[in-house]
């Protein structure tokens, strides 16, 4: 049996991070389609490559997050995971320029070219994003009897964040802002939430 050592503020922080992590992943994935389009087009091959890379990276992240959560879990480490996901997304901006053009020339087949591009840009940040959800579950679990309920609540919040990220990014953000501005804003908010996790950790949480 495991016990949660989170205060109410700590639990709110965990749920907020879970929501934002889902938002972040879907927002970046949708923007990825726009980033790849100038060099690889926007065919089903491109979107298939993007979805495959994100699903693959998330699956690896889920495994790693579950493993990592067994080693003295805490809000500080959760914030670190969120910060890593954000910081490893920073190279997406410079890599989406000339390096992506060179990659398109080197691999003209839009199927394999877009797959390599998606791996280059999104594998690492999506991997760290995938670690967030299982880590959040570990922090929220109070006992074996409540583990299923907590996991359900957590994945509801995370998936709701994914839906919100999909709608807001595709319906509004891409119309109002440049792609780089959106990406930087998302990275900045992730870092702010990582700092919030560290502050909450200092207020009597695990």
Neighbour count for residue 149 (Cβ, 10 Å): 12
What backbone phi and psi angles, to 5 degrees, belong to 5?
A: -110, 25
What's the half-sphere exposure (Cβ side, CA atoms, 13 Å) at 30? 21
pLDDT in tens, the chain (206 residues): 344 567 888 899 999 999 999 999 999 999 999 999 999 998 999 999 999 999 999 999 999 999 999 988 899 999 999 999 999 999 999 999 999 999 999 998 989 999 999 999 999 999 999 999 999 999 988 766 667 788 889 989 999 999 999 999 999 999 999 999 999 999 999 999 999 999 987 665 56
pTM: 0.92
pLDDT digits (tens, 9 = 90+) for 91-107: 999 999 999 999 999 99
Fold held by 8-201: Growth Hormone; Chain: A; (1.20.1250)
User: For residue 64, what are the contacts with CB-CB under 8 A and spacing of at least 6?
Assistant: 127, 130, 131
Burial of 85 (0-12, 13-18, 19+ CB in 10 A): buried
Neighbour count for residue 1 (Cβ, 10 Å): 8
């Amino acid at each position: 049996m495991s016990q949660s050592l989170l205060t109410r503020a700590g639990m709110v922080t965990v749920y907020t991070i879970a929501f934002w992590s889902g938002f972040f992943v879907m927002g970046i994935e949708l923007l990825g389609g726009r980033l790849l389009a100038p060099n690889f087009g926007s065919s089903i091959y491109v979107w298939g490559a993007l979805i495959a890379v994100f699903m693959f990276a998330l699956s690896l992240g889920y495994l790693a997050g579950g493993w990592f959560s067994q080693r003295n879990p805490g809000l500080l480490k959760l914030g670190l995971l969120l910060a890593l996901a954000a910081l490893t997304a920073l190279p997406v901006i410079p890599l989406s320029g000339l390096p992506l053009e060179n990659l398109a020339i080197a691999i003209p087949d839009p199927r394999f070219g877009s797959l390599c591009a998606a791996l280059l840009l999104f594998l690492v940040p999506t991997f760290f994003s995938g670690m967030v959800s299982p880590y959040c579950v570990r922090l929220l679990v109070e006992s074996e009897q409540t583990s299923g309920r907590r996991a359900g609540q957590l994945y509801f919040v995370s998936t709701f964040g994914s839906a919100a990220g999909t709608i807001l990014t595709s319906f509004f953000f891409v119309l109002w802002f440049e792609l780089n501005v959106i990406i930087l804003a998302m990275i900045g908010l992730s870092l702010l939430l990582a700092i919030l996790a560290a502050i909450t950790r200092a207020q009597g949480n695990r």
